[in-house]
């Protein structure tokens, strides 16, 4: 029908504008946050732009949910405000006939969100965390200053001095290193050259052609050992990605059938976002009701309230599944069923705009509810 084509066209243009606005606000906020963390040294400076890109992809599913919901609510509210919906109802047509075009608009969003949540997002999350960690490690290993005494790694007991450093090859010349062991003994190392390396999640300092002196300060018990190659572990880092701590990086195929509560909670969340966009668009049909005579915008407040209840309810149930308090299906279904029931009741209520609200609610709950 003509009205359906025009409606979907208007929804599409509105969705593009809303998505761009939401994206601009969130990107600017995250960019400022990452720049602040980079200034504190918690994030590599070179990683800020890439991390913003990864973060945008990660936030896209939620942005799509908000875009679909706000677009449907905005366009249908305008129809009520301009009395187009009143004309529609006065012609004997039911409000539920708007469900089909709304679903035609929402289903592509649901498919896109499902693809991103189930397949794209785990890969993006994994690459994002790996990229951030690798850049951070490279930045720490490359912060070498010549002609000064500096601490090595996180330990304050290690101090090094480098005469020259070639930034291109990463080779240091005439290196001095002093460290203390757990017993308070001093170890002094002189080497002609050395370089930092990162292997098997271990940051090491590779030294060549030098001597190592060990002993107790104030006593003449120092031992001298010459070496051609010496590897000193600077720090041992955990794996770049811990599957338990970062379960969002786990492919969906591995989550299905898993008995791990954390994996079940993650799978529940990925599915819930896909379902929520359909139910929120369905809710937007009755929630868009607007009385031009009163001029009140209570529908917007109610829509915001229901959205917050929906999302917080899903988060609460996800945490309950993660803690092992409830089963996967008991965490997945309740909020969706409740919101679907609310949408059906409100559809019946708004199909009877002449009836007082609570009277219409009572009628909609009976077997002979409004049409």
195 forms bridges with which residues in the sheet?
Answer: 206
pLDDT digits (tens, 9 = 90+) for 103-160: 999 999 999 999 999 999 988 888 877 776 666 666 555 556 677 777 765 555 678 8
Higher model confidence: residue 255 or residue 168?
255
The total number of residues shown for the chain amounts to 371
pLDDT of residue 1: 64
Q: Which residues of 72-95 are buried (b: 16+ CB within 10 A; e: fewer)?
A: bbbbbbebbeeeebeebeeeeeeb
User: What value does the mean pLDDT of the chain take?
Assistant: 82
Terminal C-alpha separation, the chain: 22
Say whether pLDDT at 342 is over 90: yes
Least confident of 196-205, 212-221, 316-325: 196-205
Structure-token pair, residue 210: 């030098």
Structure tokens at 264: 């079940």
- The two tokens of residue 19 are 């998505």
| pLDDT of amino acid 358 | 63
Question: Region 191-220: what's the mean pLDDT?
Answer: 79
Mean pLDDT of 49-64: 88
How far, in Å, CA of 235 to CA of 198, rounded?
10
Tokens of 73: 């609510």
Give CA angle at 104 (287, 344), nearest 5°: 35
- What's the pLDDT score for residue 318? 94
What is the layout of strands, in order, in the sheet containing 202-215? 149-151, 159-165, 172-180, 186-199, 202-215, 223-236
d(CA 180, CA 1): 82
The larger pLDDT score, comparing residue 203 to residue 69, is at: 69
- Residue 44 scores a pLDDT above 90: no
Give the C-alpha separation, 282 to 303, whole Å. Answer: 12
Cα(255)–Cα(253) distance, rounded to whole angstroms?
5
Mark out the alpha helices in the chain (DSSP H runs): 2-39, 48-81, 84-90, 99-115, 121-142, 252-255, 261-287, 298-322, 328-350, 357-364
Please tell me which residue, 171 or 134, carries the higher pLDDT value. 171
Distance from C-alpha of 153 to C-alpha of 273, rounded to nearest angstrom: 43
pLDDT digits (tens, 9 = 90+) for 80-104: 888 888 777 777 677 888 899 999 9
């Amino acid at each position: 029908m003509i009205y359906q084509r025009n409606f979907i066209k208007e929804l599409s243009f509105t969705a593009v504008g809303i998505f761009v606005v939401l994206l601009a606000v969130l990107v600017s906020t995250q960019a400022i946050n990452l720049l602040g963390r980079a200034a504190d040294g918690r994030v590599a400076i070179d990683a800020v732009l890439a991390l913003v890109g990864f973060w945008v992809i990660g936030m896209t599913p939620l942005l799509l949910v908000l875009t679909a919901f706000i677009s449907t609510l905005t366009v249908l509210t305008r129809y009520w405000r301009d009395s187009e919906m009143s004309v529609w109802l006065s012609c004997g047509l039911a409000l539920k006939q708007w469900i089909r075009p709304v679903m035609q608009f929402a289903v592509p969003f649901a498919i896109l969100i499902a693809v991103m949540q189930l397949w794209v997002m785990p890969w993006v999350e994994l690459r994002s965390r790996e990229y951030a960690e690798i850049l951070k490690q490279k930045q720490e290993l490359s912060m070498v200053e010549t002609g000064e005494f500096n601490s090595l790694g996180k330990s304050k007991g290690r101090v090094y001095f480098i005469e020259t450093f070639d930034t291109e090859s990463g080779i240091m010349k005439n290196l001095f290193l002093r460290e203390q062991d757990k017993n308070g003994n001093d170890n002094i190392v002189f080497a002609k050259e050395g370089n930092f390396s990162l292997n098997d999640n271990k940051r090491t300092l590779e030294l060549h052609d030098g001597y190592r002196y060990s002993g107790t300060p104030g006593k003449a018990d120092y031992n001298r050992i010459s070496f051609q190659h010496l590897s000193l572990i600077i720090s041992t880092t955990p794996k770049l990605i811990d599957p338990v701590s970062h379960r969002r990086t786990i492919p969906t195929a591995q989550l299905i059938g898993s008995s791990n509560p954390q994996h079940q909670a993650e799978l529940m969340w990925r599915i819930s976002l896909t379902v929520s966009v359909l139910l929120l668009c369905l809710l937007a049909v009755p929630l868009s009701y607007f009385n031009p005579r009163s001029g009140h915008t209570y529908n917007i407040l109610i829509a915001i309230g229901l959205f917050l209840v929906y999302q917080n309810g899903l988060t609460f149930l996800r945490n309950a599944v993660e803690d092992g308090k409830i089963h996967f299906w008991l965490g997945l279904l309740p909020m969706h069923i409740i919101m679907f029931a609310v949408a059906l009741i409100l559809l019946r209520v708004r199909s009877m705009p002449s009836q007082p609200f609570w009277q219409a609610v009572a009628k909609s709950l009976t077997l002979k509810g409004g049409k």
